[in-house]
Every structure is written in structure tokens, then in C-alpha cells.
Chains A and B, each alone.
Chain A
Amino acid sequence: QVQLVESGGSVVQPARSLRLSCAASGFTLGNYAMYWVRQAPGKGLEWVAGISFDGTTKYYADSVKGRLTISRDNSKNTLYLQVNSLRAEDTAIYYCARDGNWNYYPMFWYFDLWGRGTLVTVSS
């Protein structure tokens, strides 16, 4: 079954760090660029990061640059998001999403497969 499954979300204190994971199954993660999108409670979607199929190129929203790091391990079919110096405004469901291009490059910047998300709550 083709799917993405996120994990790693939890309740975390401000200023702490967290690493989220996204496990791909049913397809070869290494063929696709990947992204993270988050959604604060009751709010809209916010794109936060993207990474090329081979991990050599990374893109970040200005709002998170310097605190979030996207990475991938294609041998493990897994995407990651490291979130440092957590703030209350980082509280959100974090979704991983797959690029619409199945053939490595270029990135098409639309998301044809989404995971169910993992909830990060930043609270003391």
C-alpha cells in the first residue's frame, strides 16, 4: 500500500528540540522530492520545507529558516524534520508530502500523496 506515516510528535517544552520522521511504504522514496507542511490548530496550511530526491538541495520557509532542518535517508525510505528551539507557534500537525514528479527531477511543487500527520504541542 502506497502511504506515508509520520511519527515523533509529542508535547514538548519551549526551547527544546524534536525530530519528526516520515516513513514511506509502497514506493521508492528516493525517486521523489519531499516536503513538510504544517497546520496549526484551526488554521490553514503552511509549507515549511522541501528536499530534492537525493537530499542535496533543501528549501525552507523564511518563517522557520535556521530552526528547522529537513533531511532524508533513502536507504531507510524515511524523511526527517529536526525542529530546534521550539516555540508555542510551532504547535501544529506536521504532514509529510510527496512531490508529484516520480522521476527524480525537477521538483514539481505539488503534493500528490500526504501522510496523516503527527501532532507537535509546545507547552510548558
Chain B
Amino acid sequence: QSALTQPASVSGSPGQSISIACTGTSSDAGGYNSVSWYQQHPGKAPKLMIYEVSHRPSGVSDRFSGSKSVNTASLTISGLQADDEADYYCSSYTRSSTLVFGGGTKLTVL
């Protein structure tokens, strides 16, 4: 199972909005609404930010939103803050009854 495709890095200034794309196939991200996003700060465990494409867990800021079009899911962060600087991973359930992660995107807040 190939990993989902994410950009290696994105950057933005405080207050700006950025989006991170996560591209898969019809066998994973495009075929299911089981796309999730995780934030990971250095040395810490991942944290769930978005599940089932666009749902936010309780306690996650509404500055984080998710969407999907065909085989590509996206995470958008609005009103960038310094603490948003982290690695972000998408994941998707697959047709093989497994789970695949994206390679991860490093977000830099300038």
C-alpha cells in the first residue's frame, strides 16, 4: 500500500491561512470518508485534528478545517499562530482493510 502524497513543507505568516493537500487513489482517500489529520509537535505524540474528512474533535480550534474533492483531501488552517508550527499527517482507511498515512508536511510559521 503506497503512502498518501503530501507536500514536504508549507509555510505561512501569522494570521494567514494555509492548506495542506493529501492525495490518494480511489482505493483509499477517494473511496472512503475515513480521512483524518494529525498534528505532531517535536518529541510529542500525534494529536487528532480532523476525522472523517471534515469533523473536528471537541477541543480542537475551529481554525482547523478539512475537506475532500475526488482523491485529494485538504487541511486548512486559518489565522495561523506560532503554536501551529508542527508536522501534519493525513491518513485514510483503504480497500484492503488497512490504514495508510501520508508522508507528513512540516508547517513553518514565519
Contacts and interface: CB of A to CB of B under 8 A. Distances in A.
Interface of A: 35, 37, 44-47, 50, 59-62, 95, 100, 108-112, 114-117
Contacts of A109: 34, 36, 91, 93, 99
A60 B98 CA distance: 7
Given A100-B48, A111-B48, 8 more contacts: A44-B102, A45-B89, A47-B100, A50-B99, A62-B1, A109-B93, A110-B48, A111-B46
Contact of B51 (A62, A95, A110): A110
Given A45-B38, A110-B36, A110-B91, A115 B99 contact: no
A111 B36 contact: yes
A116 B46 CA distance: 9
A114 B89 contact: no
Interface of B: 1, 3, 34, 36, 38, 40, 45-48, 51-52, 57, 87, 89, 91, 93, 97-104
A104 to B, nearest CB: 17
Contact of B45 (A50, A61, A95, A110): A95
Nearest to B104: A44
Nearest to B102: A44
B7 to A, nearest CB: 13
A44 B103 contact: yes
Contacts of B100: 47
A44 B4 CA distance: 12
